[in-house]
């Protein structure tokens, strides 16, 4: 995790109650140390989930470059996730293409941290539509909401807010 990007309030929550925080920092700074940890646990591969969430967490699009670089040490074992948040880059569709070239293998959307609705594209958010269109054509996507949300099936019932009704 690129700690230099994390907002102090978010970092406080991450640290809260953790006795292993020094290990977390070490693994975040050194992918080889993280791989040794995975080996000790008998874990073959890990997906490193990162996404752009400047308002809540502090992650800017720079988090994608960090994720790709970190995972490039062992791309067969470390699966880089990245994210695109419309409004943080000039062309969200082109950003998906850039992430693919960087080595990002999946897109992560986290509506509650990104302050967006997964179906905002239906209300005219062309940037979000461009992210979905490019991601559908190029790579897998992971979407965190109260219901499963799969890119090929975009329907109003997939709105995260509908799950609360």
SS (H, E, C) 55-68: CCCCECCHHHHHHH
**CA–CA separation, 146 and 164 (whole Å):** 8
Return the residue matching tokens 């591969």.
45
Predicted confidence at residue 114, as pLDDT, reads: 84
146: Cβ–Cβ under 8 A, 6 or more apart, which residues?
160, 163, 164
Predicted confidence at residue 65, as pLDDT, reads: 94
Predicted confidence at residue 16, as pLDDT, reads: 87
Predicted confidence at residue 156, as pLDDT, reads: 42
Predicted confidence at residue 18, as pLDDT, reads: 84
Assign 79 to helix, strand or coil: strand
Say what the pTM is: 0.78
Return the residue matching tokens 């700074």.
29
DSSP E strands: which ranges in 5-131?
46-48, 78-82, 106-109
27: Cβ–Cβ under 8 A, 6 or more apart, which residues?
33, 34, 37
Q: Are 61 and 52 in contact (CB under 8 A)?
A: yes
Predicted confidence at residue 40, as pLDDT, reads: 96
Predicted confidence at residue 158, as pLDDT, reads: 43
CA distances from 34 to 24, 46, 141 (A): 9, 10, 24
Ranges of the chain with pLDDT below 70: 138-165
**CA–CA separation, 100 and 62 (whole Å):** 14
**CA–CA separation, 19 and 92 (whole Å):** 39
Predicted confidence at residue 124, as pLDDT, reads: 86
């Amino acid at each position: 995790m690129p700690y230099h990007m994390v907002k102090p309030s978010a970092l406080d929550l991450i640290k809260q109650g953790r006795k292993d925080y020094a290990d977390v920092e070490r693994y975040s700074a050194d992918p080889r140390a993280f791989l040794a940890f995975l080996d000790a646990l008998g874990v073959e591969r890990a997906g490193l989930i990162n996404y752009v969430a400047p308002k809540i967490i502090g992650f800017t699009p720079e988090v994608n470059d960090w994720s790709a670089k970190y995972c490039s040490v062992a791309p067969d074992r470390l699966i880089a996730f990245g994210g695109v948040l419309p409004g943080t880059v000039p062309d969200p569709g082109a950003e998906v293409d850039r992430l693919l070239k960087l080595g990002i293998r999946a897109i992560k959307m986290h509506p509650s941290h990104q302050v967006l609705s997964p179906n905002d594209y239906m209300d005219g958010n062309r940037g979000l539509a461009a992210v979905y269109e490019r991601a559908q054509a190029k790579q897998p996507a992971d979407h965190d909401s109260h219901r499963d949300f799969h890119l090929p099936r975009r329907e109003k019932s997939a709105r995260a807010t509908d799950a609360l009704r």
